[in-house]
Amino acid sequence: MSVASVLLVCQFGLPVRGLSPYCNTLLEALQAEQDLYVKPVDYRAAYPGILHPAVRTGALSPPGKLHWGNPLSWRRVAQIDADIIHLQYWLAPMSCYLAPLVSMAKRAGKRIVITVHNPSMHESLRWTTLFENKLLNQADALVVHDARGATALQERFSIMPERIHIIPHGVCVSSSPVLFKTSDYALLGLDPGRRYVCIFGNLRGYKGIDVLLDAWSKVVEKLVDVDLVIAGRFWAGQSGVGARLVAKMLGTDRDEKRLRSILSLPGLTNRVHLFEGFQSDESIDALIRLSELAVFPYVRFNSQSGATCRAAGQGCPVLVSDVGGLPDLAIDTSWVVNAGDADELASALVEKLSQPGDLQVNRELQLERTRAYAWPMIASAHAALYRRLI
């Protein structure tokens, strides 16, 4: 069998940026595959910084090869010797320069794979549709993480189903349920005498946090010993004037105002802990360990959630809404609720949290559920796709 050579184009290394946790692990898993040579190509800048209306952390100019505003970098990447270029694509404006890059690579005889992380973009940017259509229809294969994402891609761009391949989001699965440490409470400043539910990640409108807060106002009336922890960044344009304009255009500034208004309501202020801003891996892992469950009540979604994968992979039971690939990670249907239904979400939370004796069993069941999505299997699925293309 000949060795397939692949350029994996994504974000890598530290500091954590967008897809870098996903791509770091995918790269490591692919490099363990036999008869496959994978070379990482990092984005120096995947899109103009103004398009990220949250406060950013870490280096602003990582030492990558590909820059959205440098056509010479597009050409250099397109001409690197390889059988396949595998692009990670997650934000619609990226199509404006990835489409010409793919055109150059195709002329050089390369095969193109594109993983579409958001088959339906979270916020509307209609002016990019023409570029997206050109980019995605040039690809030899498109990868999505779940069946709903495949359907969304077909409907948006009239792509033939045989060109779309479903490869789930990989999960780093612990060998056994990860249990909390006493120091986790001190690290996060939480009371070890109380129980906790968490949600973490960027705090954006499509994640249904307003629905969760509505549901939580009902939960606190029935359960006196459980608090909700919300950890992450608002996309409200805190990083500058341009970012504020983008946040206004996307509506993410309104999301922040609405959530802050709800959080200030009597009855919630003492039962909800907001950890605002970028959270370190150490803090997120501590939060996952000490939470009885993690809740992801997304309302608009056609993919898989890295945050949900992270919690599930450590054995923290995930309560999710019935959108995108989220139900794929749930222990069973009792851990899935209808999107946008605060009453159903509240009932499910009360039911699960009223059975603390089931905590260890639920953690073991959650781990068992996620083993099918372990990274070695995901890497093998990618490798099989590459080999079919060359």
pLDDT digits (tens, 9 = 90+) for 53-66: 555 555 445 568 89
DSSP of 151-197, one letter per residue?
Answer: HHHHHHH---GGGEEE-PPPB---SSPPPP-HHHHHHHT--TTSEEE
Q: What is the pLDDT of residues 225-261, one digit of tens each?
A: 999 999 988 765 555 555 566 555 555 667 777 777 7
Q: Are 328 and 240 in the same domain?
A: yes
Does residue 176 lie in a domain region? Answer: no
Coil, helix or strand at residue 272: strand
Number of structural domains found in the chain: 2
Q: What is the pLDDT of residues 318-333, one digit of tens each?
A: 999 999 999 999 999 9
Residue 241 and residue 280 in one domain = yes
Q: Give tens-digit pLDDT for 21-65.
A: 999 999 999 999 999 999 999 999 888 876 665 555 554 455 688
**pLDDT (0 to 100) of residue 59:** 47
Do residue 42 and residue 65 come from a single domain?
A: yes
Domain CATH for 121:
3.40.50.2000
pLDDT score at 56: 56
Query: H/E element holding 211?
Result: helix 209-222
Ranges assigned E (strand) in the chain: 4-10, 36-45, 66-67, 84-89, 111-116, 141-144, 164-166, 195-200, 226-232, 272-276, 293-296, 318-321, 336-337
Band the pLDDT of 270: cuts 50, 70, 90: confident
Verify that 148 and 208 share a domain, yes or no.
no
Per-residue model confidence (pLDDT) at position 57: 54
Mark out the alpha helices in 251-305 (DSSP H runs).
Answer: 252-263, 281-290
Same domain, 132 and 201: no
Residue 175 lies in a domain: no
Fill in the amino acid letter for 217: S
Report residue 316: phi and psi, to 5°: -85, 115
- 141 and 77 in a common domain: yes
Please check whether residue 380 lies inside any domain of the structure. Answer: yes
pLDDT category of residue 264 using cuts at 50, 70 and 90: confident
Could you tell me if 146 and 212 lie in one domain? no
For residues 114 and 146, membership in a common domain is answered with: yes
Same domain, 66 and 93: yes
SS3 319: strand
User: Domain span at residue 222?
Assistant: 182-372
Determine the 3-state secondary structure of 18 from DSSP.
Answer: coil
Q: What pLDDT score was predicted for residue 243?
A: 54
pLDDT at residue 129 above 90? Answer: no
Note whether residue 368 is domain-resident. yes
Question: 355 in a domain, yes or no?
Answer: yes
List pLDDT tens digits, range 154-211: 999 999 999 999 999 999 999 888 888 899 999 999 999 999 999 999 888 889 999 9
pLDDT at 70 > cutoff 50: yes
Q: Are residues 130 and 188 in the same domain?
A: no
280 and 146 in a common domain: no
Residues 20 and 117 in one domain: yes
**Over the stretch 82-116, which tens digit does the pLDDT of each residue have?**
999 999 999 888 999 999 999 999 999 999 999 99
**292, part of any domain:** yes
Residue 244 included in any domain: yes
Structure-block tokens of residue 76: 């250099």
Instruction: Calculate the CA 69 to chain-centre distance.
Output: 25
User: Is 210 within a domain?
Assistant: yes
pTM of the model: 0.90
Residue-wise pLDDT for 281-310, tens only, equals: 999 999 999 999 999 999 988 899 999 999
